[in-house]
Amino acid sequence: MDWKDSVVLITGGTGSFGKKFVEVMLREYQPAKVIIYSRDELKQHEMRSAGFNHPSLRYFIGDVRDQQRLRRAFNGVDVVIHAAALKQVPACEYNPMEAIKTNILGSSNVIEAALDAGVTRVVALSTDKAVNPVNLYGATKLAAEKLFVQSNAYAGGMATRFSCVRYGNVVGSRGSVVPIFIKQRQSGAITITDERMTRFWISLEQGVRFVIRCVETMHGGEVFVPKIPSMTVADLARAIAPQAQINVIGIRPGEKLHEVLISDDEARTTIELDDMFVVQPAEALWFGREWEKVGQGLPDGFRFASNTNEQWLTVDQIGEIVAPIEAAYAQGQLE
């Protein structure tokens, strides 16, 4: 595809992913237009004040819960990146209907508006918490994935295609544990929930570039999963505050000890490539299974989990990854 001729819209565009995505788009791909769609006028103002004021940028105030506003915003759009979501696990648990309205009904609205407007490619961001979910956030993202994959059946003869990208924790994103550890370091003690806890980790830059690649290569109906490394939360704490005391406070409600990016059930329809996995819909007459020509199937019983991952980050490697985040924190760019 030619990005220079494309109009791109990102929901939740003022978030951590949105800002990095826009930065990379403007610097390297120069689309005809990039639309930031979000509900917070203050964050849009702050984003514009931070230098995001390129002539091709447009700022739309709107909520994914508002299908009529989405239809207006999607008019003339070629590519939609759906990044808007309520993602704080405790907040979703305490406000369950709000999470459902944004993450599930909002995703449905994005799908309907994209179909009505004739958007060509729509990619939704998902999370490892959508696999075998134990909290409401994960459950809403699982439902959103199902909506996006199966909505390809509604497209019929139209050009609109839907896919998902699923990856793990994003280092330094809003709500990440990294800024929390940096703050706690000042007191000389860091709290973790369980020393055995493992997580998949990916940088914002890696996440953005992976999404761009998936937009370019999608057929519609896939869930793309990057091959990313694991780390223990205890090693993350040691990398950020090697001299600090680590206090174990116990696992929280809705929290897993380890995360999974591909379940053993999904593995049966998953294709492996050099640097990613492509989860194909189990039964879909509209899906051409083109990926089977360029990759290979997975062995029986395969499971891509953070505790059995083949790639692991050392404490030193973790330190290199979080160094830019620490620098941003020191400069007051992170709260």
Instruction: State the catalytic residues.
Output: 129
User: Rounded to whole angstroms, how far apart are CA atoms 295 and 271?
Assistant: 6
The residue assigned the tokens 């996440």 is 207
Give CA angle at 275 (269, 277), nearest 5°. Answer: 15
169, two tokens: 């924790």
The residue assigned the tokens 């909290």 is 135
Q: Which strand ranges, in their side-by-side order, compose the sheet holding 33-38? A: 57-61, 33-38, 7-11, 79-82, 121-127, 161-167, 223-226, 276-279, 270-272, 296-297
The answer to whether the CB of 146 falls within 8 A of the CB of 203 is: no
Q: What is the DSSP pairing of strand 270-272 with strand 189-192? A: unpaired
Amino acid found at 86: L
User: Rounded to whole angstroms, how far apart are CA atoms 162 and 155?
Assistant: 9
Amino acid found at 112: E
DSSP label of 25 = I
User: Rounded to whole angstroms, how far apart are CA atoms 253 and 239?
Assistant: 26
Measured over all CA atoms, what is the biggest interatomic distance in the chain, rounded to whole angstroms?
61
